[in-house]
Structure formats: structure tokens, C-alpha cells
Structure 1
Amino acid sequence: MNRNKSDVGQGDDTSNFKEPLLLQPSYARSTSLLCDELRSFRISLRWWALDHSTWIGKFVSYITFAFLAIFVPIVSSLPVWLQVPSSAFPIESTAFHLLVQFPESALAFLGFSTLTCFFRKYGLRQLLFLDALQEDTTFVRRGYTRELDKAFRYLAFILLPSFFVEIVHKVFFFSTVKISLPYVSEGFPLNSIVFVLVLGSWVYRTGVFLLVCVLFRLTCELQILRFEGLHKMFEGCGADGADIFHEHVRIRKQLSITSHRYRFFIIASLVVITASQFAALFMVLASKSDKNFFNSGDLLVCSTVQLSGFFLCLLGAARITHRAQGMAAVASRWHMSMTCATTGAEQGKQVEADFTPKSNCNETDSDDSSDLFISFPAQHPSNFQTRQALVSYLAYNNKGITLFGYALDRGLLHTLFAFEFSLVMWILSKVVVLSN
């Protein structure tokens, strides 16, 4: 695609644009400079022991995962450790504690295996499509730089509130129960050590899962920016059907790559979350004891984190699929306007007045991609056959994020909601039967 054409209407001076450091080939993937846009990602990967750039980093990563995601949850759930007073917790409290360990470790395993596979095959730059940004417009590159800067805000908005709630629950839990081991004196601070290990295990498992969700949403935001740039190409003067076609083919290729990379993670997460949520629902409804935050708070925190991370993925995929499906409507209006413009100067002026929106073209609704303002070019527009072929192509290639061929759009979200609601009603019917 010719960048000069695609930059028309952006309002940016490309000659004065300073190319980001992450696009310069002189910087390797492992470098972490002060002004490098990927510095926050690399620091986060090191803090979560997910740095696979060296053999030492890989070894530390695998050891940390085995210890915090497998060993600590298993050992902390052994009943021989805990001595729970009956007045403090009902017997179901230990069952609730065991219930949340499996989905948290399972989601951490999915996130860890996904990141390990990504880093081994692609690396961080290729995973975030940074190398392909050299072919994008100034509008897309600057927008993606802003998205990189605020990517971890979404992780913090989910992780920090849940972390404080988890601390309150664990403080009360470990101040009430007593952990004992043979050959260990009673004065040894065993409760404090286990408290720190359990809390660190929760932070690690939750952070690994949410990190994959943030990476997926960041990839979706990049493609949304590209669709906005494609929309501006329809609005620009002298928009050529061939340039629009090549740009859309490039976006579709990257959407296909993104769908192929994350489809197993999304489907497996859906299965794990569905199984854990309905097992928790069945256990809570079937239990005869009183429920409060201190005996079932783990379920609350676990459910909140799981659903927040998964909805982050679903909403990002649904947004980009909605944009992809709206491109056919945009192209149809562009084709109609350009066709009417060729019938004559007077008729073209009338059509331009009819299609001019009431608001400024730069203030369009982000969810409605069908509003289009056409500036008729001074030169001869694209011929009718090219425009008609482009409209037909966009009508039959309007999928965004797909899961084995099924578009992850609002229709699929409605289907998932109906499926989950049916499971809820089925569990309620079983609980009523068991209660009677």
C-alpha cells in the first residue's frame, strides 16, 4: 500500500514524525532501554519470572511455575496441615478453599503454556506485530504506542482490587486456623510462612492468566486502529479500490494469525471457567451452612478475576469483529457515492449534500462504522467494476476474530449466554431436588 495515499486525511505531518525505537532494527529483542516502548513488558515478564530470552530465564521460569502454581496449592490444601476450629468455619470452608485451587492453577497453566509457546515461536516483537508497524500509517503507529503505554492499566484495574480483598480474606483465615507439622515446634512462625507462600501463589497464577488476556486485547486494539485507518481511506480524497483491497487483505491476514494463536487459550479458558463456576454454584446452593465473606471469600475473588479476564478477551474480540463486519456497509456507501458522482457535476453536488453528516467527520461514534463522509476527488474516481468487486469481497470476508471458523461476534456471545443460563437453570433444578 502506498503510504502517501493512506496518510491522506490523517492530519499528521509524516515528515516530522519520529519513528519509535521499537521499530528500529538496531535494537534487539533482549535490550531494554529507558526510552524503549517495550520496557514495561520486559520488566513485567521478569517480575513474573516469564523471561525466556536466556536459558537461565527459562530455568527460573519453569521452577517458579512448578513451585507457585503446583507445589504451593497442593501442599496448602492438604487437610493434615489445617486445624480449623468448628466455631470459626463450617466444614464447607475447606471444600471452598480446595475448589478454587484447581481453576486458578488450570488457568495459570493455560497462560504459562501459551506464553511459553509464543516466546519460543515468535518473540515479543513479533507477537505484538511491531515489525509490521513499518507498513502502517502515522495514525495507527501513534495510536498503538498509546495503547502500549496503557496496556497494563487494565491488568492493574483487575489485579489490585482483587489483591486487597484477597489479603483481607487470607489474614482472617490464617489468623483463625492453625497449621502444624510434625517435628516443627509450635513457636515456629509456620502460619506466616504459609500465608506469604499462598498469597504469592495467588498473585503469580492470577497475573499469568491476566497477562495473556491483556496481550490478546492489545492485539485486538491494534487491528481496531487499522480498521479506523481503513475507514479514513474511504473518506480521503482519491481513495483507490486497489489500495483499500491490499490494506484489508493485510488486516485479514493478521486477524487470522491472531485467531489461530489464541483460539486454544480462549476455548480452554471457557471450559475451565464454566466448570469451576458451576461447581461452585452447585456447592454453594447445596450447602446448608450460612455463607459469608470469611468462609467463602475465595470463591468471590476467584470468580471475579476469572470472569473479568475472560470478558476482557471476549469484548476485545467482539469489538474488532463488529468493525470488520461494518466495513461492507462503509464500502457500499462509498461505492454508491462514487457512482453517483460520475453522473454529472450537479448531481454529484446534490449527493454530497445528502450524504454529509450533521457532525464533524472526525467525531464519529466509535461503535458505528457505517457513517461515512465522502470528499469527491478532483481526478477521475475508481471505475465501477473495481468498486463493485471490492464491495463483493468485503461482503464475503467480513469475519474478525474466529474460533475454528466461527466468528466471535455478538451472535456468538448471545449463544454463550444462552448456554450458560441453561446450565444455571439445570443446576438450580438439581439443587431443589436434592434439598427436598
Structure 2
Amino acid sequence: MNPTVNSSDAHVEVEFPGQVDGLNRPMLLPQSHARSKSSLYDELRKFQICLKWCALDHSTLLGKLVSYITFALLTIVVPVASSLAVRLPAADPTSINKLVHLPESGLATIAFFTLSRFFKRYGLRQLLFLDGLQEDSHYVQRGYTRELDKAFRHLACILLPSFFVELAHKIVFFSTVTIFINSPRGVPSNSLVFVLVLASWVYRTGLFLLVCFLFRLTCELQILRFEGFYKLLEGYGSDAGVIFEEHLRIKKQLLVTSHRYRFFIIGSLFTITVSQLGALFLVLASKFQKSFFNSGDLVVCSAVQLSGFFLCLLGAARITHRAQRIVSAATRWHMLVTRVLDAQSNQQKTDQMIITQYENPNPNSVPKSDSSTGELNPSSFHTRQALVIYLQHNSGGITLFGFALDRGLLHTLFAFEFSLVLWILSKVVVLS
């Protein structure tokens, strides 16, 4: 059922790849890259190609094997080997750059196994909620197409500046340090380790940001649906049953989204909190002079981590805020519809009295009441009132084990993190 008021959207059908005879083919839909008239399919195809180039193709056994080998090599082997093979200058024996390998690899591990679970249980289309998008209006479909198209641009806005800063730091770093590793003949050891470390950084950072942007895309789709839901509450002729069914559909998808990403959000929050506070303590307690050479990685790592995680928190908070606004919008709609219907009912009663007095001028006669008006309006009123009460008790958005990710929770997290920062500062002052 299409919940929009505009009847022109009622027959919109969008075909997606991999849907044959009502069955969904698994990720990544091999041999399905033929061009389609659907722009949504074109954007989905970009995601598929991107995942293959990032060695995240789990549609075949070979692709899964390559994916796990690439993950183990770039997330575990290269960081550990580079840390053991690099000897720092004597003037700066305690480089903070080694400290970032653990949180970067930790976030990449969380993101990789999150994606692996997604690809095992859901397809890419189901993960992005494209299966039920044909039930939405043209407004939602066009808006979601734009968000899919802008997803890679937003990802590049974070990844590319960070990459150039990381590249500059690695050039300075590997032109100074000494590498103890056997390289192939004719290949300098510093150049070989430089390329491997840079590839490892791109892979680990891209994994984490990819999951963050997948979550953001899901949030943007639900925000578009909430905006369409508000349009339903702007019309006097909107049916309470249609509004109820549309809210049930949105609520179900919000619950699914919360369940899918809760371990990623909690794991990322814990990893980022521990790494940032640990780095803050070590930086403040260290007696050596801080420079771009010995702490450049820490700056880039912190910026990427906080940018990606704030994207998740802000997306979830926006959804929850819009979900909580539904109650006020529905109450306003209920009030306006009741007022309009009461005015119409009073006008009908007045007209009926005038007609009755004109036809029967006897003042002792009592006009008959309109049974249809007396029965229909109370029933419609109670239906709308029940809908408002239902929305009051089901106004949550993205949740983490029952706790809504709203502004109140964000304020609580900020107060908690700020308290830890003050505690670390007090410990550093005592140690000094």
C-alpha cells in the first residue's frame, strides 16, 4: 500500500537487479551488471564494483577467501611487521605513531566482521532497504537516489584529505627511519615498507568509513520517509489506518537498523574512547617534544575516527529527533481534523434545523437527528485519538539495547568523555 496522498505515486514500480520471480539473489549478484533504466540500480552497481575493488566480494568462495587473506595481511601482518622492522632515531626513541596501529586495526576488524555478517545474512539490496523502496513515493525514491550518488563524494571528503596528510607524514617518516627487513633485490626497504604501510592505512580507514556511510545511508532513507510521513499529517483527508500502517513500516525498519548496527556502534565507541584517552594520557605524560614526525599519525587517526563516528551519532540523533516530533505533528493533525469535522457537523445541524423549520413551522415539533453524523464522527474521533496515543508510546528512533540515540544520550556521552579527560589531566598533573 502506498501511503502518500498523491495518487500518481500509487503505481510506481522500480525493478532492481537480482529479483527474479520474487526471489532475492545473494550478494554480489554475479553477471547482473547490465545497464538498467533505474538510476537506483546504477548507484547499486557502483557499490558492487567498489566492494570488489576493496576485496570485499563475498558472493563466491574464491572472493571470500581473497577477502579474508587481504584483511589478515593489511590489518594484522603489515602493521605488526612494520612496527618490528622500523628503528627510530636515537633522538626520538618513543614515537607515538606506533600507538595508532592498535585502534586502527581494532576498528577495521569490527567493520570487517560487521560487513561479513551483513553479506552472509542480507544482500546489498536488502542491507540498503531497496527491496521495499517501490512502495515509497517518487519524492522518497528521488531523494534516496541522490543520497546514494553523494555517498562516495562524502566518503572522499573525509578519506582524500586524510590520505594526503598521511602521505606527507609517511614520506617524512620513512625518509628518516631505518628499516630492518629483507627486501627483493633492487627494491629499497624503506620504499617497500612505505607502500605496504600506506596500503594498510587506506584499507583499514576505508573499511571503518564504509560501514559508517552505510549506516548514514540507512538513516537518510528513514529521514526521507519521515518527511513523507509528515506530509500525510498535513492533509485533512488522510486516513488514520494508512498513517498507522506507514508508521509500522518505518518502525520495523528502525528496529532492524538498530539491531544490525548496535554492535558496530558500541564497539567503535569503546575502541575510540580507550584509544583517544590512552593517547591523551601518553602525549601529556611524555617528556619528549611533540612534532609532525612522532605524532602525525595520531592526528590523522583521531580525525578519521571522530569524523566517522560522529556521522553515525548525528544520523541516529536526526532520525530519533524526527521520530519524536511525530507525536506533536499527529496531535496537531488530530486537532485540525476534529475542528474541521465539528464545524461541518455544526453547519449540517444548522442547515437541517433551517430546513425543518421551513417545512414544519410548528414550534412544538422536534427535528430528527442525523444518525449518520451522530455515529460517524465519534468513531472517527476515537480512531484518531487511538492513533495519537499509539504514537506517544512508539516515538523512539535508533536504539541501543533499548536506549534511544537522541540528544539526551549524546549529552550524557559528552559529559562522560569530558569527565574522563579531566581525570586524565589530573593524573598527568600529579605525575608531573
Alignment deviations for residues 337-361 of structure 1 (CA, whole Å, 9 cap, x no partner): 111112225999xxxxxxxxxxxxx
**What is the SS of the residue equivalent to 1:150?**
helix
> Alignment partner for residue 388 of structure 1, among 377, 385, 389?
385
Aligned to 1:33: 34
Letter of the aligned partner of 1:74 in structure 2?
Answer: V
What TM-score comes out, normalization by structure 1 length? 0.85
> Alignment partner for residue 50 of structure 1, among 35, 47, 56?
56
**Is 1:19–2:9 an aligned residue pair?**
no
> Alignment partner for residue 409 of structure 1, among 382, 406, 413?
406
* C-alpha distance in 2 between matches for 1:23 and 1:334: 41
Alignment deviations for residues 366-395 of structure 1 (CA, whole Å, 9 cap, x no partner): xxxxxxxxxxxxx98981001100000001
Aligned to 1:131: 131
TM alignment of 1:280-291, pairs within 5 A: 280-291=279-290
> Alignment partner for residue 77 of structure 1, among 57, 67, 83?
83
**Is 1:175–2:172 an aligned residue pair?**
no
* C-alpha distance in 1 between matches for 2:83 and 2:202: 17
Structure 1: tracts of 5 or more residues without a match: 349-378
Larger radius of gyration: 2
Aligned to 1:255: 254
1:154, CA displacement in angstroms?
1.7
Letter of the aligned partner of 1:86 in structure 2?
Answer: A
**Is 1:230–2:229 an aligned residue pair?**
yes
TM alignment of 1:177-326, pairs within 5 A: 177-181=177-181, 188-326=187-325
**What is the SS of the residue equivalent to 1:131?**
coil
1:97, CA displacement in angstroms?
2.0
384 and 16 in structure 1: CA distance in 2 versus 1, 3 angstrom threshold: closer
* C-alpha distance in 2 between matches for 1:220 and 1:403: 15
Number of matched pairs: 393
Aligned to 2:162: 162
Identity of aligned residues (%): 64
What TM-score comes out, normalization by structure 2 length? 0.86
Check the 8 A contact 1:82/1:178 in 2, yes or no.
yes
Alignment deviations for residues 5-32 of structure 1 (CA, whole Å, 9 cap, x no partner): x33259xx44896735459647953322
1:222, CA displacement in angstroms?
0.8
Letter of the aligned partner of 1:267 in structure 2?
Answer: I
Aligned to 1:142: 142
Check the 8 A contact 1:240/1:382 in 2, yes or no.
no
Letter of the aligned partner of 1:234 in structure 2?
Answer: L
**What is the SS of the residue equivalent to 1:32?**
coil
Alignment deviations for residues 12-64 of structure 1 (CA, whole Å, 9 cap, x no partner): x4489673545964795332234433111011101110011111110100000
261 and 15 in structure 1: CA distance in 2 versus 1, 3 angstrom threshold: closer
Letter of the aligned partner of 2:113 in structure 1?
Answer: S
Aligned to 2:93: 91
TM alignment of 1:84-123, pairs within 5 A: 84-87=88-91, 90-93=92-95, 96-123=96-123
Aligned alpha-carbon RMSD (Å): 2.3
* C-alpha distance in 2 between matches for 1:199 and 1:193: 10
Structure 2: tracts of 5 or more residues without a match: 348-375
* C-alpha distance in 1 between matches for 2:199 and 2:346: 70
Check the 8 A contact 1:111/1:209 in 2, yes or no.
yes
* C-alpha distance in 2 between matches for 1:191 and 1:347: 88
* C-alpha distance in 1 between matches for 2:194 and 2:379: 69
399 and 91 in structure 1: CA distance in 2 versus 1, 3 angstrom threshold: same
Check the 8 A contact 1:180/1:186 in 2, yes or no.
no
* C-alpha distance in 2 between matches for 1:243 and 1:402: 25
